Amino acid sequence: MNQKEIAELRRRFRPDKSAVSRIYGCYVNGSSKEIVSDLDEPLSLMPEEEAEKYLSLLKKALSGTLGRNLLDIVFSTQQVADSDEHRLLTALRSSALKDAGARAAFYQKVIQALDMGEGNYLILLAHDAYDVPHRGGDGALQADVSDEVFQYILCCVCPVKSCKMELGYFPGENEFHSCAAGQVVSPPELGFLFPAFDDRAANIYNALFYSRSADQLHQEFIDAVFHTEPPMSAAEQREAFESALSDALEDECLMDVVQSVHEQLREKIEQHRESRDPEPLAVTAQEVGGILQRCGVAQQRLDAFQVRYDEYFGENAALNPSNLIDSKRFEVKAAEITITIPPECSYLVETCVIDGRKYLLIPAGDGVEINGLSVGLRDETEKSPEPEHTP
């Protein structure tokens, strides 16, 4: 799926656009792994504000960045042909979630596997039938011409947190009193769409998985519901990428080389953002190798990097560069100091050797401050005043 296809589905989750007729789910006690209550409510009979809140929670399971918060789950051909996990998802979809037995089986599969700590949580499920409008040659949607009906289910898991006692105003008494604590549903921690909406049509070989935190994918949920190899989290990808660089380059893993890799990947991220290209951004080992080659890295080191990259990510893997670097921060650590500068200014940090000792150099320029206090810098040509001696 690309960003346009996700945005097209996200626009569905408004009371005036959605074909969601009912909201299903269950409230779970996280510590005992027991269902506290079931949810099976027609959306049309809810107060408008309440319906909007349910749809808003579900919509958040289609938010975030492709390759970071939104990840492709790929089923094997064997799974699609004959597997319990795909059969259950298909039963939920084909029955429009009306199959109570399938819902109960799904709830139990999630509850027994999911680790949400001791906190309670809410599992929400919705089914939508989207009459997909035809997209003309100019890219405009033609609402009166439909290509197909895309039927899908959307699931999200939301933590439920207890509110503290607060002071509240009671107009009738014209006084403030303590308000009773309650249970508040938080935005979803994870969720998924099945099947995927690829090329604006159903792809039963894929699902789209959502994780609020790109570094915590709840792999136990992925294994239980999809029974597929969990994708690497953003943190795991960055750690593996850094290991591939350091292991392969060895003594050629120099500061200026890493600066170049960081800067050129950051530029790709910025250019992709400005272009508004709906397709997810990705880089390959060959592209990173090109950056290293331009930095003068020896060919044997480039070959070693390719081998390490393939070992960590798989042959010909294309990765989101946002997972490989922190495009919003450039941090340099030495023995006793840490320097953090805007990424676009990373080129200002240089290295040199003075009297056999290694230094990091940063041009000071004007406007130097110490804890907010403006200070000047002594000119090297100026002589320090001689200390006065008291006779």
User: How do residues 241-252 score in pLDDT, each as one tens digit?
Assistant: 999 999 999 988
When pLDDT is cut at 50, 70 and 90, the band that residue 136 belongs to is low
The residue that leads in pLDDT, 222 or 335, is: 222
Output phi, psi for 214, to 5 deg.
Answer: -70, -15
User: What local confidence, expressed as pLDDT, does residue 381 receive?
Assistant: 59
Neighbours of 316 (CB within 10 A): 10
Please classify residue 205 by burial: count the beta carbons closer than 10 Å to its beta carbon, then call 0-12 exposed, 13-18 middle and 19+ buried. middle
pLDDT at 140 over 80: no
String of b and e for 35-69 (b: at least 16 CB within 10 Å)? eeeeeeeebeeeeeeebbebbebbbbbbebebbbb
The residues, ordered by sequence, that sit 6+ positions from 110 with a Cβ below 8 Å of its Cβ are: 123, 157, 221, 224, 225
Distances (CA, A) of 51 to 54, 158, 187, 273: 5, 16, 15, 33
Q: Are 153 and 97 in contact (CB under 8 A)?
A: yes
- Which residue's structure tokens are 């519901």? 225
Mean pLDDT confidence for 318-326: 90
Q: Beta partners for 330?
A: 341
pLDDT at 351 over 70: yes
User: What local confidence, expressed as pLDDT, does residue 288 receive?
Assistant: 93
CA distance 15 to 49: 10
Amino acid identity of residue 303, one-letter, is D
User: What local confidence, expressed as pLDDT, does residue 352 receive?
Assistant: 87
User: What local confidence, expressed as pLDDT, does residue 35 receive?
Assistant: 94
pTM greater than 0.85: no
The residues, ordered by sequence, that sit 6+ positions from 112 with a Cβ below 8 Å of its Cβ are: 33, 224
SS3 state at 107: helix
- Tell me the angle at which helices 299-313 and 285-294 cross, rounded to the nearest 10 degrees: 160
Q: What are 232's two structure tokens?
A: 């690497």
User: What local confidence, expressed as pLDDT, does residue 286 receive?
Assistant: 92
Alpha helices in the chain (DSSP H): 3-10, 48-59, 77-81, 84-94, 100-113, 219-225, 234-249, 255-275, 285-294, 299-313
> How high is the mean pLDDT of the chain?
88
Closest CA to 200 of 276, 144, 148: 148
When pLDDT is cut at 50, 70 and 90, the band that residue 233 belongs to is confident
pLDDT at 390 over 60: no
User: What local confidence, expressed as pLDDT, does residue 145 receive?
Assistant: 62
Q: What percent of the chain has pLDDT over 90?
A: 53
User: Angle CA(201)–CA(207)–CA(211) in degrees, nearest 5?
Assistant: 130
When pLDDT is cut at 50, 70 and 90, the band that residue 208 belongs to is very high
Q: Are 349 and 361 in contact (CB under 8 A)?
A: yes
CA distance 275 to 272: 5
Of 35-39, 263-267, 303-307, 327-331, the one with minimum mean pLDDT is 327-331
CA distance 14 to 242: 43
User: What local confidence, expressed as pLDDT, does residue 242 receive?
Assistant: 93
User: What local confidence, expressed as pLDDT, does residue 377 receive?
Assistant: 81
The residue that leads in pLDDT, 360 or 381, is: 360
